[in-house]
Amino acid sequence: MAYNLQSLITILQKILDPQQSLWIVDRNKPLLQSLLEKAESLLEKSSSLTNISSLESQIADVTYKAEDIIESRMVSSQLMQNRISMFEQVDSNRVRLTFPTADLQQVIQELDYAKEQVVKLISASFSHGDAQHGTQQLESTNIVMPAGVPLSSSQSDLVGVDADMLQLKDRLTNMQSKLDIIPITGMGGIGKSTLARNLYDDPLTTSHFDYRGWAAISQLPNMRDILLSLLRHPNEKISDELNECNENELKDILYKRLYGRRYMIVLDDIWSTKFWDEIRMYFPNNSNESRIVITTRDSNVAQHIVNSKSLHHNMQLLHTYESWDLLRQIVFGEEDCPLELQRIGTKIVSECGGLPLAIHVIGGLLSKVERSKDVWEQISTDVKASIVESDDRFSNILSLSYNRLPIYLKPCFLYMGAFPEDYEINGSRLMRLWIAEGFVKSNGDKSLEEEADDYLKVLVERNLFLVTRKKYNGNAMRYSIHDLLRDLCIRKANEENFDMRRLHVHSSFEIERVCASPQRMSLARSFICSQNKFPSSDFGILRLVRLLDVVDMVFEEFPKEILQLVNLHYLAFSCTSGIPIGISRLRYLQTLISSKYQYMPNNVPFEVWEISELKHLMLRTLIEIDKTEIVHKTLKTISYVRVTPSLISSGFFKRIPNIMKLEIYCATTPNIEVDLTHLHKLEILSCRSSLNYYNGYLHRLRFPCHLRKLSITCCVLCGRFLTTLCALAKLEVLNLNYCRFKRDGEAEEEWEATEEDEFRSLQFLSFNSLNLVRWKADETNFPRLRELFLYYCYELEEIPSAIGDIPTLKTIRIYKCGASVAASAEQIKKVQQEEYGNYDLKVVI
């Protein structure tokens, strides 16, 4: 668990940062600096090795020991200072931090020893050569390399990919003369190699190409073996002449053999761009319809090779009926499945999550056992365990993806195993959790949030995370993980003691288990509980916790024990009494979330603004802010701020210069403008008010020019105001919710966009519960609109017919609107199909 070093490094950097204003560490500074240097060096050297399994436990132990020594003393010193400041006039902003010298020296020595062992491994790998080093690492992890031929290459086992076969065969045999490279991407075990093998052996392709070659690349490619595979004729042994050639001679032979011929080459299971860059020059472009098929789990590798994601063929998981069809073929072949086994078989196959490899493994097991209801029922009770136990190769194939992850991504991947099966998590929340855990390293050029976003993208590109919901612009919003990969997370987390410092409670049974382990609780750094029965009195045991997420536990009074958890970086809770006095004791808080909605204003203690590291303040209550002089440069998110004349006159909005997401509420029309134009980083803005026809709130708002998303709720609108929004050149999303249209104090109920009204970047437009009756607009007003959503607009007569002429429009979604609205949407779709051949537009009613 060398990746744990990053958390230790983050802690030490925080203490030693010359800009920090909390800790005084003069006495121990040299030792702490030495410890930081040792940890950084060890992490760097560990990252250069694919696997250091023999040293993982040693590095993990010393890292945990160092963290416990440092954070225990930090917490004790801070609590002591807090108690003293309650009775004496002392500066509670500065805390002297001292450590037992012997303890620090001990962990430094242990880190030194671990570093020496890593250096020896690196030296040994260089002295024995890359090929032996690869073998050594594979043996050390007991990984069985997948065979060059996929688990099954029979046409009968290829289920659910008819469309894939047709599409790919067309790309292989079409008349495009230049060399075409076809990447097949997808998660481990999804059937990439099987699909490629069936394409390779298909009679159409065998007759179309003059020469065909297949090579299994794997994670540690041996170039000589790969060249020999490509030069070997199908079903023939390698000739003695080829065996006697060196690598460079084989490369020349391959190039000459392919030159002038129409060839099909399959490079199966590519893991790195380096291999491709080395071999690509030996595939000549004969301009004669030659093709290269590659399979890879890593979309980045495919992107590097073809430089266009649109050319990737990304394989999808099987549907339930396709999964059952595949299992039935594997177990019964041409025979009929007995009716009594069909129900159990469907249940078994549903546990495979649509992953062909899992279905093959469980099918192989079922084909060897007695075909009886009792035996199948027994297997169905624990399908996943049966899959893993019946075929080591299954576990090894999935483990390859984990073992090849960069060291900094391993804890981020393992973290998903802590959530329940089929759990979907917002990307923004997941990134904040990673940051609070200390997994994310800043390189100086990017913020931690930007780095975490890059981490997420890589895990998706490697097909380890699934994107379950996208935003309006196609970017990922929610994520989940395949059940079998989740099992891999849990297994690896147990093997590497990853979950020893993390308590994630999702059932009453887990509550009992956690409460029975006070020692484990006292060392926990993360506590996430989705149950509402956990005793709040036990929070005090979590003295070193950095992350506390208990939003499902609703408190009437804020638990005072939480205010003693001074190591907290992330706090999410639900409490009807709001934010307590004393919250500023949590000096390291970066994220503060209260999910309990309150509709009455609630004074947030002034001391909240004194938490210097606070980035995200998300309260489901109206925040009354008294005059404050503090400039808060770290704040990126804040909701909901109640806009009052005193708030504006105090210049509050000028004191949050780096805010990116802001939610504001206004009950009455302020006397002066609400000027947000100076908030140059603000991208997402939500405006609410109490709905009345005398509220001129929106007309006094001045928007920043970089606004990307705007939501307006319970406000009074008129066409003139919406015209002003056209000046927001980067506005991509506009949500209008529970609003009323008016003109000169009268209900207008009409929005007529003029020729000059152009929302030049708007892609998503949503109307929800408006009193709008007539809407007049055409394609020139929304030239880039992709999605139009209409909810509960009972009074709206119709959608303007010219909306259908917007070339980018993909979806019109209607819910609980009048029949005439639905009819106009259907008419738009009909015209687009019959007159323009546009079958891409979807209308969902």
% of residues, the chain, pLDDT over 70: 88
pLDDT band with cut points at 50, 70 and 90 for residue 20: confident
Give the pLDDT of residue 155: 42
SS percent in the chain: helix, strand, coil, step 5: 45, 20, 40
Strands 476-480 and 425-426: antiparallel
Burial class (CB in 10 A: 0-12, 13-18, 19+), 706: middle
Angstrom distances, CA of residue 788 to CA of 366, 500, 700, 843, 845: 49, 48, 28, 10, 12
Residue 761: CB atoms within 10 A of its CB come to 16
| pLDDT above 80 for 216 | yes
Residue 73 near residue 97 (C-beta atoms within 8 A): yes
Residues in the chain, overall count: 845
| Distance from C-alpha of 840 to C-alpha of 845, rounded to nearest angstrom | 16
| Distance from C-alpha of 258 to C-alpha of 254, rounded to nearest angstrom | 6
pLDDT band with cut points at 50, 70 and 90 for residue 598: low
| Distance from C-alpha of 749 to C-alpha of 740, rounded to nearest angstrom | 7
| Distance from C-alpha of 826 to C-alpha of 823, rounded to nearest angstrom | 5
Residues 6 or more apart from 416 whose CB is under 8 A from it? 425, 465, 479, 481, 486, 489
Say what the pTM is.
0.75
Residue 627 near residue 605 (C-beta atoms within 8 A): no
Q: Is 585 helix (H, G, I), strand (E, B) or coil?
A: helix
What is the Cα 792 distance to its own chain's centre? 33
Q: Is 747 helix (H, G, I), strand (E, B) or coil?
A: strand
Q: Is 690 helix (H, G, I), strand (E, B) or coil?
A: coil
Residues 6 or more apart from 45 whose CB is under 8 A from it? 115, 118, 119, 122
66-75, 135-144, 552-561 — most confident range: 66-75
% of residues, the chain, pLDDT over 90: 37
User: Which of 218-222, 246-250, 391-395, 633-637 is least confident?
Assistant: 391-395
Residue 14 is which amino acid? K
| pLDDT above 80 for 154 | no
Q: Is 408 helix (H, G, I), strand (E, B) or coil?
A: coil
Average pLDDT over residues 778-785: 94
Residue 199 near residue 169 (C-beta atoms within 8 A): yes
Give the pLDDT of residue 238: 77
What is the Cα 293 distance to its own chain's centre? 29
Give the pLDDT of residue 804: 93
Report the candidate in 801, 785, 775 with the shortest Cα–Cα distance to residue 717. 775
Give the pLDDT of residue 128: 53
pLDDT band with cut points at 50, 70 and 90 for residue 632: confident
Residue 376 is which amino acid? W
| Distance from C-alpha of 460 to C-alpha of 477, rounded to nearest angstrom | 12
Average pLDDT over residues 68-86: 87
| pLDDT above 50 for 405 | yes
| pLDDT above 80 for 361 | no
CA dihedral over 335, 338, 339, 343, signed as positive or negative: negative
Q: What is the pLDDT of residues 464-514, one digit of tens each?
A: 888 888 887 778 899 988 777 888 898 888 888 888 889 988 877 778 888
Residue 361 is which amino acid? V
The radius of gyration of the chain from alpha carbons, rounded to an integer in Å, stands at 31
Give the pLDDT of residue 567: 95
| pLDDT above 50 for 150 | no
Q: Is 233 helix (H, G, I), strand (E, B) or coil?
A: coil
Query: SS3 sequence, 87-142?
Result: HCCCCCCCEECCCCHHHHHHHHHHHHHHHHHHHHHHHHHHHHCHHHHHHHHHHHCC
pLDDT band with cut points at 50, 70 and 90 for residue 91: low
pLDDT band with cut points at 50, 70 and 90 for residue 276: very high
| pLDDT above 70 for 149 | no
Residues 6 or more apart from 123 whose CB is under 8 A from it? none
User: Which of 157-166, 424-433, 786-795 is least confident?
Assistant: 157-166
Q: What is the pLDDT of residues 653-669, one digit of tens each?
A: 888 999 999 999 887 66
Average pLDDT over residues 605-624: 82
Residue 420 is which amino acid? P
- Pull the structure tokens for residue 71: 């954070």
pLDDT band with cut points at 50, 70 and 90 for residue 703: very high
Mean pLDDT over the full length of the chain: 84
| Distance from C-alpha of 364 to C-alpha of 85, rounded to nearest angstrom | 69
What is the Cα 504 distance to its own chain's centre? 19
| Distance from C-alpha of 50 to C-alpha of 27, rounded to nearest angstrom | 39
- Pull the structure tokens for residue 454: 């890059």
| Distance from C-alpha of 36 to C-alpha of 192, rounded to nearest angstrom | 44
Average pLDDT over residues 538-557: 90
Residue 669 near residue 694 (C-beta atoms within 8 A): yes
467-476, 530-539, 571-580 — most confident range: 571-580
Per the model's pLDDT, the better-predicted residue between 20 and 521 turns out to be 521
- Pull the structure tokens for residue 626: 């008294």
Residue recorded with tokens 């907290």: 568
Report the candidate in 704, 646, 696 with the shortest Cα–Cα distance to residue 675. 704
Give the pLDDT of residue 453: 94
Residues 6 or more apart from 146 whose CB is under 8 A from it? 193, 216, 218, 269, 393, 396, 397, 400
Residue 675 near residue 702 (C-beta atoms within 8 A): yes
| pLDDT above 70 for 746 | no
pLDDT band with cut points at 50, 70 and 90 for residue 616: very high
| pLDDT above 90 for 310 | no
Angstrom distances, CA of residue 772 to CA of 129, 710, 747, 819: 74, 19, 10, 15
pLDDT band with cut points at 50, 70 and 90 for residue 696: low
Residue 306 near residue 294 (C-beta atoms within 8 A): no
| Distance from C-alpha of 818 to C-alpha of 824, rounded to nearest angstrom | 10
Residue 514 is which amino acid? V
| Distance from C-alpha of 819 to C-alpha of 398, rounded to nearest angstrom | 51
DSSP 249-275: HHHHHHHHHHTTS-EEEEEEEE--HHH
pLDDT band with cut points at 50, 70 and 90 for residue 92: low
Phi, psi of 210 (to 5 degrees): -75, -30
Q: How many alpha carbons lie under 13 Å from residue 195 in its C-beta half-sphere?
A: 31
| pLDDT above 90 for 606 | no
* Cis, bond preceding 640 (omega within 30 deg of 0): yes
- Pull the structure tokens for residue 92: 């509670």
Average pLDDT over residues 259-266: 94
Give the pLDDT of residue 764: 95
Residue 386 is which amino acid? S
Give the pLDDT of residue 147: 33
Residue recorded with tokens 């460079």: 248
| Distance from C-alpha of 290 to C-alpha of 336, rounded to nearest angstrom | 43
Report the interhelical angle of 483-495 vs 392-403 (nearest 10°).
Answer: 80
pLDDT band with cut points at 50, 70 and 90 for residue 797: very high
